[in-house]
Amino acid sequence: MHEWEQEDPLIIERAKGAYLYGTDGRKYLDGVSSIWLTVHGHRHPALDRALRTQSGKMAHSTLLGLSHPPAIELARELIRIAPRGLTRVFYSDDGSTAMEVALKMAVQYWQQRTPGIGSKRTFLHLQLSYHGDTAGAMSVGGIDLFHRRFRPLLFPTVAAEPPYCYRCPLNLTFPSCKMACLDPIERILKQRHRDIAGLVIEPLVQAAAGMITAPAGYLTRLRRLCTTYKVLLIADEVATGFGRTGRMFACDHEGVTPDLMAISKGLTGGYMPLAATLATEKIYRGFLGRYDEWRTFFHGHSYTGNPLGCAVALANLAVFRKERTLARLQPKIAAMARLLRSFKDLPHVGEIRQRGFMAGIELVRDRSTKAPYPLGQRIGQRVVLEARRHGLFLRPLGNVIVLMPPLTVTVRELTRMVTIVRESICMVTKS
């Protein structure tokens, strides 16, 4: 904050398509979809119209003992597009609260469904994971910089190494390693499955960790392990959902159905705070019972199922269908990969990671040893500030430069973004 106070802050007053317009009179390409939210670009006419129409009817009504058409219709649509078997929807406010819902559901489910199976009150998660900033979400997080100060406030969990192939903790190489990083996870599940309620995963991409991509088949094998050891698979699709990986959800790439799935960010196309936790019918039935059994899931939020958010989310999903967003995205994914290949020649680019329209460029002080830049040098921040001077807004993850534009960006705009990133890296690293 001390350094930020010394800077001239960028103030955005309006936006359109892939561009942000500042009070400084300049326009900036939105290279991170306003932190991974904007799907169809800013000010999409259909989303604008849905928000205006719903505001003329009702801004909000509680879901405690009531419902309303947008919440009902959106739940039906989410079930239609979700991985097969997810049939129930619980609304909340943002990605972090959607994860809190999933964690609490998992614990209560085991207590009520099969109380003799074990305590099942803890969770297995990956190191370097990020699932939000509320207490439960931080408890299953693994980014020390974000979480270490708050460890005394969090509940105990079990952590395993992630599939970080570039910096493999086992010093192995994919694919000859045969995904040996899964072996410790299986040992943990075999030894402690009676204690573990769920395994929490960001499917395919650990986003906040620096766009760390999992090898093909990794998610499928996690699903099998969870089934074998009677542990719920909890998928955090907050960042990866709604087209970011090239499919509607990351789980779709491997045909995996989690037991619980958290979604937010792109749910409303970047317009309104809204989230949901999707569950299987088996999970839902674990909460059914007589009034005096108190099997109710006692969890709620004031703005749960907000009609404005639900209405614009419905419009968002309609745009996916009408504009064939995912089909039209595929050539742009290929174009991004082609454009990023040129970065391999830069001496301070250690690895380029891409899954769909999510990309991370890891900068290193020494490529031969993979030695990272000290965080105090703020290499990532210096690169994005240089990019801003050339009309591109980005946010780094430490030494990783993230590129995650709106799905509707044109190839010309994408080319401009990648060109600015490359030039900015060269300028800052003097390469």
pLDDT tens-digit profile of 359-395?
999 999 999 999 999 988 999 999 999 999 999 999 9
Q: What is the pTM of this model?
A: 0.96
pLDDT of residue 375: 87
Looking at 284, 299, 322, the residue that finishes a domain is 322
Asked whether residue 192 falls in the same domain as residue 316, the answer is yes
- Say whether both 10 and 126 belong to one domain: no
**C-alpha dist (Å) from residue 229 to 75, 76, 156, 194:** 30, 31, 20, 9
* Same domain flag for 96 and 140: yes
Count up the domains in the chain and report the number. Answer: 2
Tokens for 346, please give them.
Answer: 């830069």
Residue 131: CATH number of its domain: 3.40.640.10
Helix, strand, coil % over all residues of the chain, rounded to 5: 40, 20, 40
Question: Which H helix or E strand runs over 362?
Answer: strand 358-366
* Predicted pLDDT of residue 114: 75
| Residue located via tokens 């009520």 | 112
- 254 and 136 in a common domain: yes
Domain contains 22: yes
Does 346 lie in the same domain as 197? Answer: no
* Domain that residue 359 falls in: 2-30+324-429
**DSSP string over 8-52:** ----EEEEEBTEEEETTS-EEEETTHHHHT-SS-BT-HHHHHHHH
Q: What pLDDT is stored for residue 265 in this prediction?
A: 97
What would the pLDDT profile of 318-336 be if each residue is shown by its tens digit?
Answer: 999 999 999 999 999 999 9
Amino acid sitting at position 96 = S
Q: Are residues 205 and 77 in the same domain?
A: yes
Please name the residue that has the structure tokens 């958290």. Answer: 262
Output the pLDDT for position 145: 87
For residue 41, tell me if it sits in a domain.
no
Domain assignment present for residue 38? The answer is no
H and E: helices and strands count for the chain: 14, 18
What distance in Å separates the CA atoms of residue 91 and residue 16, rounded to the nearest whole number?
29
- Separation CA 59–CA 249 (nearest Å): 29
In a domain, 57, yes or no: yes
Query: Which pLDDT score is estimated for 7?
Result: 80
* DSSP result, 40-58: S-BT-HHHHHHHHHHHTT-
pLDDT, residue 346, reads: 96
* Alpha-carbon dihedral angle through residues 283, 90, 139, 394, given to the nearest 10 degrees: 130
State which residues of the chain have pLDDT below 50: none
Give the model's pLDDT for residue 6.
Answer: 84
Per-residue confidence (pLDDT) for residue 118, from 0 to 100? 76
- 248 and 395, same domain (yes or no): no
